[in-house]
Amino acid sequence: MSFQVFGIAVSRGVAIGRAVLVASSRVDVAHYFVLPSDIQPEIDRLLRARDAVVQELEVLKTELPEDAPHELAALLDVHLMLLHDEAFTGGATQWIVDRHYNAEWALSAQLEVLARQFDEMEDEYLRERKADLEQVVERVLRALALEQGTVPQPATPRDFAGEDPLLLVAADIAPADMIQFKRSVFRGFITDIGGKTSHTAIVARSMDIPAVVGTREASRLIMQDDWVIIDGDAGIVIVNPSPIVLEEYRFRQRQSELERARLGRLRHTPAVTMDGEPIELHANIEMPADAEAAIAAGATGVGLFRSEFLFMNRDGELPSEEEQFEAYKAAVQAMKGMPVTIRTVDVGADKPLDRLTVNELRHEHVLNPAMGLRAIRWSLAEPSMFRQQLRAIYRASAFGKVKLLIPMVAHLAEVRQILETVRKVQQQLTDAGHAYTRVELGVMIEIPAAAVMLPLLLRHVDFVSIGTNDLIQYTLAIDRADEAVAHLYDPWHPAVLHLIARSIAEARAAGKGVSVCGEMAGDPVFSELLLAMGLRSFSMHPSQIPAVKQRILRADAQRLAQALPAILASDDPQTTAGQELGAGRTAGAALH
């Protein structure tokens, strides 16, 4: 039966494929294909892990003390029974044979199938056995992890031209898990929770794959292996579509691919407005390897290197200075002399670490983590970690143009403390004989207080970067990761537009660099408005550069600027912008 699930559109385009249901706690389980020649070895690996767990449980059972509760032995018997059940190992084996899934993926897929069956049982005792099944799976996954030396060489989707595309369905995907997701085989994803600018959505756009979040019920309604269409433009998920609907979306998919190829031809075209204003189009990246995509998209630099992703998925260990240095150096060298702006670690809120040295960063310890000890507040509270990161960044400056960006600044006292720390770091590097060059220092404008006091901040920094995602969140008092209030997240709100316009104007008047690195910079809908405000430096996900460049090439910056007062004075800026900027764009195009 075909049905639709509605959510929030966060990444445009159409994806068609089979659903892969993954529990949130197992998103980071390895997902890759195995070659036909590796199918039997992969099955053997799964069975060895199963047998290891069986042996472990049998030993536990024999070692139970005489006074142990009877329930403990009974529980171990249940786990042993599940491990020997053909529906468990036989079903997982079938995923390996039929779909070429690796053992961990096959095990997780079979778990989702069996868990759904347990949920539908009428007997309460049998329904509760789902928890036992999950515990057994976790044990087998741990056993598989101990066999890392026997893992076969992963295959890619290209090795299976006839295989169906795969779409991930989960309750949620944590930012740390998204690192694994970026290297995976999935062509799109659907989550129950999240908002348009949650970090899950941001990474989806950076990968240029369709995604719908905030569906609430998708992971419960969609079954493993269902055929699914993700309409990333409308925020609709169509499950088991009819042949007619499927063909319509396949046509839209082909049209989207043609449009992407057409925009790709603009890669080497300089971003210059019709009236001759040169525009910088920089890229936002999360890992050094992302620099390759930035170059391929025609970026003129990296406007935001989110260094916090180097700190995630590390089993609680922070990266060393040397490891960070090598990562920053790799990104700087990959950009071949173009500027690389590295933001110091921005953790907390929707990006917690798996191990935190300060308890307040944990969601369970803070009522509102978005307002807590995060970003620069955490860095200043952990001076040793902060100095270590700064040393790595400054050392990387010897290999190219590096700029340092500090997130979530709200107080002059913070700026003074940062400057003092930078001086100490420079002295440490000099004493140790490490080379470094001048690094421009900038702060992010993402708290209204910073926007209001910007003239004071500009006396102490070289540039500012406006993070529109958090600026909107804090201005409107909205948790941008909460789908319950996602409809109130409004980049067109007059207060937001006034803060952005004022920040750009004040930075330019002071002769300081200003850029926008939030989601507004990569949304073509806002390109003309930001140009009208005087913005000349945009930073966005590499995949968004071609569409924004097309808008810039068709724009007349002077004519757009003439429309700005009417937009800022309007009680409906979005409608006024559509009328005023559209007219200016048409007039500019007519002159050329």
Domain that holds residue 132: 34-150
pLDDT band at 358 (very low <50, low <70, confident <90, very high): very low
- Greatest CA separation for the chain: 93
In this predicted structure, the answer to whether residue 484 has a pLDDT above a threshold of 80 is no
Q: Report the alpha-carbon distance of residue 453 to residue 111 in Å, rounded.
A: 54
Q: Are residues 97 and 168 in the same domain?
A: no
The pTM assigned to this predicted structure is 0.75
Report the CATH number that the domain containing residue 303 is assigned in CATH: 3.20.20.60
Enter the DSSP assignment of 252. H
In the numeric block, which tokens belong to residue 103? 């053992």
Answer yes or no: is pLDDT of 407 > 90: yes
545 in the same domain as 419 = yes
Residue 494 belongs to a domain: yes
Q: Among 138-142, 436-440, 490-494, which stretch is predicted with the lowest mean pLDDT?
A: 138-142
Give the dihedral sign, CA 291/173/219/118.
positive
Q: Write the CB contacts of 46 (distance below 8 Å, at least 6 apart in sequence).
A: 89, 92, 93, 96, 103, 106, 107, 140, 144
pLDDT at 232 over 80: yes
Beta strand spans in 159-289 (E): 166-170, 186-191, 211-213, 227-231, 236-239, 280-285
pLDDT-wise least confident of 58-62, 158-162, 321-325, 351-355: 158-162
- For residue 274, the model assigns a pLDDT of 95
Q: Does 77 share its domain with 94?
A: yes
Task: Identify whether residues 13 and 130 lie together within a single domain.
Answer: no
Residue 63 sits in a domain whose CATH number is 1.10.274.10
Compare 317 and 175 and report the one with higher pLDDT: 317
Are 250 and 288 in a shared domain? no
User: Do 427 and 367 share a structural domain?
Assistant: yes
What sign for the dihedral angle of Cα 240, 242, 247, 252? Answer: negative
Q: Are residues 332 and 421 in the same domain?
A: yes
pLDDT bracket for residue 138 (50, 70, 90): confident
The Cα–Cα gap between 503 and 449 comes to: 11
The mean pLDDT value for 239-261 works out to 92
Q: What is the pLDDT of residue 28?
A: 61
Burial of 224-262, coded b for 16+ CB within 10 Å and e otherwise, reads bbbbbbbbbeebbbbbbbeeeebeebeebbeebeeeeee
Q: Which residues lie across from 5 on neighbouring strands?
A: 237
- Give residue-wise pLDDT tens across range 510-520: 999 999 998 89
Q: Which residues pair with 280 in a beta bridge?
A: 537
- Alpha-carbon dihedral 547, 553, 558, 560, rounded to 10 degrees: -30
Residue 539: beta bridge partners? 282
Q: Say if 508 falls within a structural domain.
A: yes
Query: Residue 254 belongs to a domain with what CATH number?
Result: 3.50.30.10
In a domain, 156, yes or no: no
Is 419 inside a domain boundary? yes
98-129: b (≥16 Cβ within 10 Å) or e:
ebbbbbbbbbbbbbbbbbeebeeeeeeeeeeb
Catalytic residues, which ones? 199, 517
Do 274 and 588 touch, CB atoms closer than 8 A?
Answer: yes
Q: Are residues 394 and 530 in the same domain?
A: yes
Question: Chain-wide mean pLDDT for the chain?
Answer: 86
CB 406 within 8 A of CB 418: yes
- For 519-560, the pLDDT digits (tens) are 899 999 999 999 999 999 999 989 899 999 999 999 999 999
Q: Residues 167, 230: contact at Cβ < 8 Å?
A: yes
Residue 143 and residue 43 share a domain: yes
| pLDDT score recorded for residue 591 | 41
**Domain match, 248 and 289 both:** no
Residue 119 lies in a domain: yes
Quick one: pLDDT at residue 161?
Answer: 42
Q: How many domains does the chain have?
A: 3
Domain boundary among 150, 170, 193: 150
Structural domain includes residue 155 = no
